[in-house]
Amino acid sequence: MEKPEYLDWLNQYTDAEACTSSQQSLPYYLRVNSLKTTAEEYLNWTNLKLEKTFLSYAFQVKELPPNGLGNTIDYATGWMHTQSLSSMLPPHLLNPKPGENVLDICAAPGSKTTQCAALMQNKGIILANDKNKGRISALANNIERLGVINTSTMNQDGARFTSPHKFQKILVDAPCSGLGSSEKAYGWWEEKYSRNISALQTAILRTAFSHLEPGGTLVYSTCTYPPDENERPVSRLLEKNPNAKLEAVEIPNSEPGIQEFGKEFKKARRVYPHKFNSEGFFLAKIRKP
Ligand SMILES: C[S@@+](CC[C@H](N)C(=O)[O-])C[C@H]1O[C@@H](n2cnc3c(N)ncnc32)[C@H](O)[C@@H]1O
């Protein structure tokens, strides 16, 4: 899509000019890996200039090291993981606890899986699944570097995922058009793409929800803006499963979901770069009573 056309489209949802220009210079963030250190110990040790965020383990990097964050000893030792603040939101909302069993159905390369493992203090079980075999090696590398020992990887199509076990917590970080994470994605994107991928997202979400234990929680997230990829798959799930309930969540400087899909979508969250100072995201927390 050409930029003027994209700006017109995005203006339906937010201030498109502010949104796209902020996306060109978003800060870097890192997550202190509590499986290997504490925020206090890490801050005393690292040479990086960091600033606090609203998450106790997440920091904004004020000055990038000359060779990038991925080439630091901090990264190699697994004391930290580079991850956008927005990308830390889905595990933050899911809030997996030590001892729980968790399914991460679209897991690679594992930023959110390893964050879940840290929140669980390596106790309990995570099944980290991804359809793309090539991306499983990056997932395995992150699991090893970050000292995660409670996670097994799996290579299934999430839309057809089967397991004899049910899960207390499930993360569906769905494949999407990525308009919130890549400032250039609009160049190849068209609305038709979102309508098509919406069917896959819906199928993965339904399959995941069918593996949720009663009393369990599922978080659906994408890093994009089109309602076809966000509110629509969630709304289809709610229609087919009257026992699925959206739960209100708090994220600073975020906005409610689009309520054309129903009043309950004010409980979903839209995160825009110019307001949140990190990637664009959509999040919905769903409970099975
Ligand atoms: C947004 S990325 C996941 C990022 C990951 N959660 C993280 O935080 O590092 C979406 C993932 O979905 C995977 N995927 C695409 N189609 C899938 C399907 N049908 N079933 C399961 N995974 C799929 C992609 O390979 C990709 O790794």
pLDDT digits (tens, 9 = 90+) for 31-50: 999 999 999 999 999 999 99
Q: Hey, whose CA ends up nearest to atom 25 of ligand 1?
A: 132
Instruction: Check whether residue 195 and residue 92 sit in a common domain.
Output: yes
User: Does the Cβ of 94 fall within 6 Å of ligand 1?
Assistant: no
Instruction: Check whether residue 76 and residue 166 sit in a common domain.
Output: no
pLDDT band at 257 (very low <50, low <70, confident <90, very high): very high
Q: Hey, whose CA ends up nearest to atom 10 of ligand 1?
A: 175
Q: For residue range 225-255, what is the model confidence (pLDDT) as tens digits?
A: 999 999 999 999 999 999 999 999 999 999 9
| Ligand 1 pocket mutation, candidates 104, 114, 132, 278, criterion most atoms within 8 A of CB | 132
Domain endpoint, select from 46, 61, 83: 83
Q: What is the pLDDT of residue 250?
A: 97
Domain endpoint, select from 83, 112, 129: 83
- Which domain CATH number covers 13? 3.40.50.150
* Mean pLDDT computed over 131-148: 98
Span from the CA of 52 to the centroid of ligand 1 (angstroms): 29
Q: Hey, whose CA ends up nearest to atom 23 of ligand 1?
A: 131
Provide the domain limits for residue 46: 27-83
Instruction: Check whether residue 53 and residue 178 sit in a common domain.
Output: no
Instruction: Check whether residue 223 and residue 185 sit in a common domain.
Output: yes
Instruction: Check whether residue 232 and residue 221 sit in a common domain.
Output: yes
Tell me how far apart the terminal alpha carbons of the chain are, to the nearest angstrom: 42
User: Does the Cβ of 106 fall within 6 Å of ligand 1?
Assistant: yes
User: Does the Cβ of 138 fall within 6 Å of ligand 1?
Assistant: no
Q: What is the pLDDT of residue 57?
A: 98
Q: For residue range 10-25, what is the model confidence (pLDDT) as tens digits?
A: 999 999 999 999 999 9
pLDDT band at 147 (very low <50, low <70, confident <90, very high): very high
Q: What is the pLDDT of residue 112?
A: 98
Q: What is the pLDDT of residue 42?
A: 98
Q: For residue range 106-132, what is the model confidence (pLDDT) as tens digits?
A: 999 999 999 999 999 999 999 999 999
pLDDT band at 258 (very low <50, low <70, confident <90, very high): very high
User: Does the Cβ of 274 fall within 6 Å of ligand 1?
Assistant: no
Instruction: Check whether residue 259 and residue 170 sit in a common domain.
Output: yes
Q: What is the pLDDT of residue 260?
A: 97
Q: Domain total for the chain?
A: 2
Q: Is 253 left (phi over 0), alpha (psi -120 to 50) or beta?
A: left
Instruction: Check whether residue 123 and residue 183 sit in a common domain.
Output: yes
Instruction: Check whether residue 76 and residue 199 sit in a common domain.
Output: no
Q: Could you identify the atom of ligand 1 that is nearest to the CA of residue 132?
A: 25
Residue 19 bears catalytic tag = no
Domain endpoint, select from 35, 59, 83: 83
Instruction: Check whether residue 146 and residue 273 sit in a common domain.
Output: yes
Span from the CA of 42 to the centroid of ligand 1 (angstroms): 30
Q: Hey, whose CA ends up nearest to atom 20 of ligand 1?
A: 158
Instruction: Check whether residue 190 and residue 223 sit in a common domain.
Output: yes
Instruction: Check whether residue 52 and residue 90 sit in a common domain.
Output: no
| Ligand 1 pocket mutation, candidates 92, 119, 130, criterion most atoms within 8 A of CB | 130
- Which domain CATH number covers 73? 3.30.70.1170
Averaged pLDDT of the chain: 98
Q: Could you identify the atom of ligand 1 that is nearest to the CA of residue 130?
A: 22
Instruction: Check whether residue 111 and residue 240 sit in a common domain.
Output: yes
